A and B are shown apart, each in its own frame.
Chain A
Amino acid sequence: MSAEKKPDFHVVNHAVPRRDARVKVTGKAQYVADLKLIGMAYAKVLRSPYAHAKILSIDASRATAHPGVYCVVTGNDLEGLNPYYGHAVKDHPLLAIDKVRYAGEAVAAVVAVDERTAFEALELIDVKYEELNAVFTPQEAMAEDAPLLHEKQFEAGALRGFEGEVTAGKGSNICQKHHIKWGNVEEAFKNAAAVVEGDYYFPMTYAYAMEAYVAIADVTDQGVNIYSSAQHPFMVRHDLKSVFNLPVSKVRLIVPFVGGGYGSKSYTKIEPLVAACSWKAKRPVKLQLTVEEAMLTTRSDDAYTWMRTAVDANGKIIARQAKIFMNTGAYAENSPLVVEKSTNRCVGPYAIPNVLIENCSLYTNTVPASSYRGFGCAQVTLPGESQIDELAAKIGKDPYEFRLANAAKPGEEFFPGMRPFDGTLKQDLDTAARAIGWNTPLAKGHGRGVACSGSDAGAYPLTSTVVRVHADGSVTIMTGSTELGQGSHTVLPQIAAEELGVDFDKVNVVSSDTAITPYDRSTGASRTTTLMGSAVLEASREAIQQMVVMAADVLKVKVEDIQTVRGGVRCGEAQLNWSEVISKFYALPDGEVIGRSYIRKSGRFSALPVFWEAAATGVEISVDQETGKITMEKLATVGDVGLAINPALAEGQDIGAATMGMGIGLFEELIYEGSQLVNGSILDYRLPRFSDLPKEVELHLVQNQDGVGPYGAKGGGEASLNSMAANIANAVDRATGVRIRHAPLTPEKVWRALKDKNIQGSKV
């Protein structure tokens, strides 16, 4: 525990019930899927059957003439718009123009009086294609005779989120390249006492937000108004401003409750398309994708990683080198940032003096890849944390002790140029190890693993907010942070209630309406509690400063004579609460005080990352030798969150993330056969269910108040995912003696590995 005593908090650090609890358990919470506008039409999308093809012609005349159809929109109808969007690379047309780049790409949209009519009319659109050669893996995309997906040079997006150059659109299928280098890797490997080396594969996965992508657009001469299930409404606004060539003030994104995001709803998805539909149909249009269509919209980048790691004779890690090829699919989306992040995240959270990581993502004729919870980190933590165990085994050390000896220490600048490490991995690992009984005897066929991850989180620090204190003492927070389920509508009012000394129940949240709520860059990278939480804290304090001045005016005393107390002010005998200060100041029991704050890359937020997101997980698994099926016996999560503003919500993030990570470790994988995604439905894509629940689960938090956020808080919610696949692979090795380097560890894969081991009598 931290030596510093925690102050006695009134509201924060308490598991207060969720603010959105009642509306969510009674079915009253409104999602975009539930909204209707007067005069609204419905769109359906025609998708390409080919992975790579020229569009020779589109004849939509029969569909347009179909009763109930308002219009059909194709790539030929976009004159007057800038149809290519993308915050990193403007490579993505809102509908295919001249060619299609993956099977499932949107080619045309029908706008009709209802969904069924729109769906019927899709069949009446006649598209003629000329098929082209296609590539589906990075290796194929790099081949000399590989067809080029994108022929033209791209404009780099203004908000790509990293400082490096964009590599895309330079005459090859390379989407983005990135590398980091320090020390002398070649020399270190020459002098190493032991080295492990291997090839690893992290699969394509689908986030399955249960609410599939949905948006309603109303484009008029007043501007573009959109309701969308989007994590980052301000980023989407930026793309739409460019598509429609409008000032920011004429683009409005409104985000009500969101039915799951996990990164898959970050950045622009279907909003430009539905806006173009409304623009052409001249009425509000709703586009609700099916889950099958959502699976054809965004996935995670799969990654092929070659990695080697070296130790010296003292068991100190001295070098790591990796080459990564990521499969970004047909469009860049957020993959350039995923590339940068996965490069960085090969290192952490270890202090390694010699590092060389080279990463390259390639365009292929598959579903575009983008953000997915922990983006980039899980892909490289599979090799990273696997090699820690492999090395420990090679030098005869306990992998848990080996981690402790090499993990970055609090305050250590283990990544040159970045913020010193702000977590306590020793405590994280200790807690995880204890929770799963690391040193207790293991049953036959069982194996344990503890693993950790530390990722450069928080994205770019640009966040603003307004906290309005009303004359009755109640409070409204205006925030651009989106409630995805993570609990921002609960955590942010906890902070305001703590600062202003008002009841939690009296603090309301208005969120995610770009016309009303102040700018917030994004809701992702675990940033909201740290950045928006700090903004709410500072805006609350700024409101208090104003109310102190007002109180001095009311009491006719000097400002210096006013003393703040919880929920109000005191001056001598006189004591006023905020309601009295405001009412007396305005001489009317109404009116308000507006506290403001903005956070930028400055002061305590000048060092990046905003914080290191650290967590440990512990697992115990058993393997059925006959079938290769892995059973999760125990799972422990340890979130190193600085201070949990709401411990129940913080733990909920960890177990949710760990369960997604477990799914990828055990069975989740999008599978391509040739040009087609063959398991593109929830019938075929295996997800964690109740029956996959580990037999025992323990959730822990480490709270050393060592973050830059409010009261020492840091973000959580991604890190418990990152280490799970490696942890499961490590535990399987300890249980069976087989090392599997490709996730997921399906029964078939495990069974084959066991069979090979029995034949060869050694590790595969």
Chain B
Amino acid sequence: MRRPMVLPAIMAGAATLTLTACGGVGGGDDSDGGGDSQSGDLSADPSGSITTIGFALPDEIATVRVDTFREMYPDVEVNINEGGFDEQQFLTSVSSGDPTELVYIPGDQVGAFAARGAIQPLDECIEQRDIDLGQYRPNVLDLVQYDDSTYAIPEFYNTPVLIVNNTVLAQAGLSAADIDISDQESLLAAAQALTVRNGSTYERIGIHLRLPDLTPFYGVVDGNPWVAAADDFRLDDPATVATMERLKAVQDAQGGHTALKDFENTWDLFGEGNPFAQNQVGAMVIEQWYVNVLANTSPDVDITVLPITNADGDTVTWATSNAWAIPKDADNAATSCEFMKIMTAPDTWAAAAEERIRLREAEGKAFTGIYTANEAADDKVFGELYTPGTGENQKWDDAVQSVLEAQADAWVVPANPVGAQFKAAWLEATNRILAGTQDAPSALAEAQDKVEQALADVG
């Protein structure tokens, strides 16, 4: 028997599997970056069909708004490709020259896609379809405006608050006033007092800072935002190093970051067995949408929601958002513009809020608001539709007021061309520092180098 021809077959297989991973994208066209200007009559009546990616319909807040557009324009076919934003899906569709009409992207990536021309500037769309940018929160517009143009229309307005588990605090003889995120000494004391472990097995995290998700927020709390401008990153600033070292100390005081993360991974965050219902956490820093989750899944849970303050006692917060954008070379821009306008208009948000109020009332639960990037919409929801809870629901009204107070003046990462690299850099550095595999100064210096290199590459 002759020896089988193994080598050629294996070489071909290896080459195929390895090299085709990066070869099938296709070439770009003659765009010079910075996005194509929109052309055509953007004020035309909506028609034809539009398809979206990156957007899902998980609840009535999404479905009612899409239905509102469909009712206004019954002849337009709206296809929602449900799912989270997928860079590969988006980029390959743009590169092929046949993208979807709309894409829903994380706000911190708008600048990068704008800088490379992957999404279109919306200035003409905004002008011709009378989208009133004055209604939108100016700080959130910083997320989506790049190089003097607006590239996306923001939707939600997510800001962290402190949610305190009163049951757990009472057992430990503490009160909400004992937890001050900006004061390291009291934070460490509370964290240690509230954490419950049985050997290496956790029963409760004392104070859950949601690291590394919210790490940049603590730079804001400490008076040192990590980004000063689109090309001015401060990851290696001594103040950033100090923030990371104190965050590591808090994690270490509760048993260490990796063990905490493991325990967090066992939580049923969105279900009835959530960490507040199960008393698995003493206090948690988390975006305001979690108040809505708790009001729905655990209406009887005993919590207090507080805005977070800096060392001077001033409320501080960090805002993030997702936004609608039109990919380069997308068809039917007029209809897409109208869709973005309708999806984020005050009346549409109000319709969604009314539906949520109806559903919550039917179940005897409190409505705890929706928080959008459109200030006029929020004024409408909280001014005309929201009814403060009383009696058992008083705590939810207190929570809503705290959220509104916290949202007053939020910091955002300015739109910049290296959003993905910046996030990857601080995430990697944070994980190394918190896990103890690298000290804060060197990890953050490396992260800063990576971001600066990425900036230089983009030019």
Instruction: Decide whether A and B are members of one complex.
Output: no
On A, residues with C-beta under 8 Å from B are none
